[in-house]
Amino acid sequence: MSGAPSEPVLISEVQARVARELDRLAPVIDPLGRRFAEAGHTLALVGGPVRDAMLGRAGNDLDFTTSARPEETERLLRGLTGALWDMGRDFGTIGAQIDGWQVEITTYRSESYDPTSRKPEVNFGDSLVGDLSRRDFTVNAMALTVPERGFEDPFGGLVDLANRVLRTPGTPEQSFSDDPLRMMRAARFAAQLGFTPAPEVVAAMTDMAGRIEIISAERVRDELVKLVSAPWPRRGLELLVETGLAAYVLPELPALRLERDEHNRHKDVYEHTLTVLEQAIDLERSRHGEDAEPDFVGRFAALMHDVGKPKTRRFVDDGTVTFHHHDVVGAKITRKRMKALRFSNDQVDAVSKLVELHLRFHGYGSGEWTDSAVRRYVRDAGDQLERLHILTRADCTTRNKRKADRLRRTYDDLETRIERLSEEEELAAIRPDLDGAQIMEILGIPPGRDVGRAYKFLLELRMDHGPQSEDAARDALLAWWPGED
Ligand code: ATP
Ligand code: MG
C-alpha cells in the first residue's frame, strides 16, 4: 500500500476546492445562516467540514458553532425541519437532518476542566475565537461564518494544513491535560489525514501518555476504531507505540517488538504485523472495490493475529525459535483486550475467531486437504470466511517472490475448491418437489423400490426444470407412472 501523502498542500488548490465545496453546500448553509443572522446570532461552519473542504474530502456531516443557546438553536431549526435530535443538549448540541445533510449545531463552549475527571465540564462561551481556542488541533480550529462566509483562523490552521502538521492551539501540555483523549485523536488524525504531529505534540504525548488512563474505555475505543479504519493506520499505530500511549491502550502491540535472539534469527513480529495490516487493506480494496466501507473487524484481526507470539516463544536447541499454539493463545489475549475496550460481543467473537484460525491454512500443504478438511475450514470460519481469506493471504510478508507466489497460488486453489464444493453441496441439498409420503399417497403404493424410482424421477425433473408447483409435479409424476426401469 502506498504511504501517506507528504507533499505540502498548495494554497491555490485549497482555494479552488473550498470554492467548489461551498457551491455544493450553499443550498443548506446559506438559508441556515440567514435564519440565525435574522435572530441576531452568529453561525459558523467549524472543525471537520472546514478542514475537509480544504482537503477535498467531501462529506455529509456539517458541524456548526453558534452564539445561540441550545433552546434558541432548537427553535430556529424547528422552522426548517422536523427531524431534530437533542441527545447532545447537555453539551450544547442540537442535531438535525436537512435534505440528506447531518447538521449538528453546538453553542460556543468555554470548558473548565477538572484534571481528574473523565469528561470536560461544559460551560457555554460567548465568542467564536474562544470556542476555537478550546478545540484539539489548529486544523480543526478554523471556522467559516454563514451566510457572509468570513474565514476565522486565529491559530494558523490553514498554514498547518498546507504543511500537513497537527499542532494544538495552545500548548500541547495544557491541551492534553484538559482532555487526554486528544492524544489518541492526534494518532487518529495522523492515520486519517496522513498528517504529522508537530515535535512538541509528540513530546507532550510521550511525557503525558499515562494520563490516558482517566479516559473511559469507550472513548478510547472509538478513536482506535477510527484510527484502524483510516487510510493510513500504520502512521497512527507507530505514533501510539513510539509515544508510549499504546502501552496503555493496546499493550499487545508494542509487546510484538520482540528482541531478536543472539543469532538475529526470527523476524520482527511488530514490523511484520504492520505490513500484514497494510496488505489486508490492499486486499480489502482489490476484492471489495475502492469505495467499499473500511472493514474494522478484518483489519483489527490483522493487527492482533500474532499477539500470542511473545507468550509462546521458545528457543530450541538447534537455534530456531518456535511459537507453538500462538493462534489459540493469541485468540484468548485478543478476547481479553477487546472486552476491556468494551467492544460488542459480536466483534470480540469475530476477531478472536479469525486470530484462532489464521494458521489453519498452513496445514493445506500444496493441496493435500481432503474434501472434508475443506468443509471443516468453511464451517469453522462460518460468516468470517471472506475475512479469513484476506487475513491468511495478507499474512505472507516474505521477500522471496517465488515463495510468495506459491502461497498465493495455493490459496487460489483452496478458494476454487471451496467454491466448487459449495456448488456441489448446494446441488446435493436440492430435494424433489414431492417427498416420499406424498409420492406414496399420489400413486397409492406402499414403501418400496417404486417409491425410490419415483423419487429419482422427480429429482431429475427438479434438476432439469428447477422448482415446480405441487400440482405440476403431481401431474408429471402421474404421466410418468408406472415408468420403465
Ligand atoms: P470526523 O467527524 O471526520 O471524525 P471531526 O474533525 O469532525 O472528524 P469529531 O470527533 O466529529 O471530529 O469532532 C468535531 C470537532 O470538534 C473537531 O473538528 C474538533 O474541532 C472538535 N473536537 C472534538 N473532540 C474534541 C476534543 N476531545 N477536544 C477538543 N476538540 C474536540
Ligand atoms: Mg465530525
Structural domains in the chain, sorted by start: 1-163 (3.30.460.10), 171-250 (1.10.110.30), 263-429 (1.10.3210), 436-480 (no CATH)
User: Under a CB-based contact definition with an 8 Å cutoff, are residues 297 and 289 in contact?
Assistant: no
- pLDDT given for residue 341 in this prediction: 98
Query: Which residues place a Cβ less than 5 A from the ion ligand 2?
Result: 48
Model confidence at 463, pLDDT cuts 50, 70, 90, reads confident
Ligand nearest to the CA of 135: 1
- pLDDT given for residue 466 in this prediction: 80
Per-residue pLDDT tens over the stretch 286-321: 999 999 999 999 999 999 999 999 999 998 888 888
Q: Which of helix, strand or coil describes residue 196?
A: strand
Mutate to test the pocket of ligand 1, among 64, 65, 119, 135 (most ligand atoms within 8 A of CB): 135
pLDDT exceeds cutoff 90 at 381: yes
109 alpha carbon – ligand 1 mean position (Å): 13
pLDDT exceeds cutoff 70 at 79: yes
Q: In sequence order, what are the beta bridge partners of 96? A: 84, 103
Distance separating alpha carbons of residues 106 and 93, to the nearest angstrom: 4
φ and ψ at residue 220, rounded to 5 degrees = -65, -45
- pLDDT given for residue 6 in this prediction: 80
C-alpha cell at 290: 475502492
C-alpha cell at 128: 467564536
Residue nearest to atom 15 of ligand 1 (CA): 47
Model confidence at 424, pLDDT cuts 50, 70, 90, reads confident
What residues does ligand 1 touch, defined as CB less than 6 Å away? 47-48, 61, 63, 135-136, 140, 179, 181-182, 185
266 or 41, which is more confident: 41
Distance separating alpha carbons of residues 399 and 102, to the nearest angstrom: 47
Q: Which of helix, strand or coil describes residue 124?
A: strand
- CA distance to 7, 92, 258, per residue, from 117 (Å): 40, 19, 36
Distance separating alpha carbons of residues 101 and 27, to the nearest angstrom: 11
300 or 91, which is more confident: 300
Mean pLDDT for the stretch of residues 459-468: 83
C-alpha cell at 189: 488524525
Model confidence at 425, pLDDT cuts 50, 70, 90, reads confident
Model confidence at 260, pLDDT cuts 50, 70, 90, reads low
Do strands 151-152 and 101-107 pair parallel, antiparallel, or not at all (unpaired)?
Answer: unpaired
Mean pLDDT for the stretch of residues 462-474: 86
Distance separating alpha carbons of residues 22 and 27, to the nearest angstrom: 9
User: Under a CB-based contact definition with an 8 Å cutoff, are residues 269 and 258 in contact?
Assistant: yes
Beta strands in 120-220, from DSSP E residues, in sequence order? 143-146, 151-152, 165-166, 196-197
- pLDDT given for residue 262 in this prediction: 53
Q: In angstroms, how far is CA 105 from the centroid of its own chain?
A: 26
Q: Which amino acid is at 301?
A: A
Residue nearest to atom 26 of ligand 1 (CA): 136
Model confidence at 265, pLDDT cuts 50, 70, 90, reads low
274 alpha carbon – ligand 2 mean position (Å): 27
63 alpha carbon – ligand 2 mean position (Å): 7
Percent of the chain at pLDDT exceeding 90: 75
φ and ψ at residue 395, rounded to 5 degrees = -80, 40
Average pLDDT over the chain, rounded to an integer:
92
pLDDT exceeds cutoff 90 at 28: yes
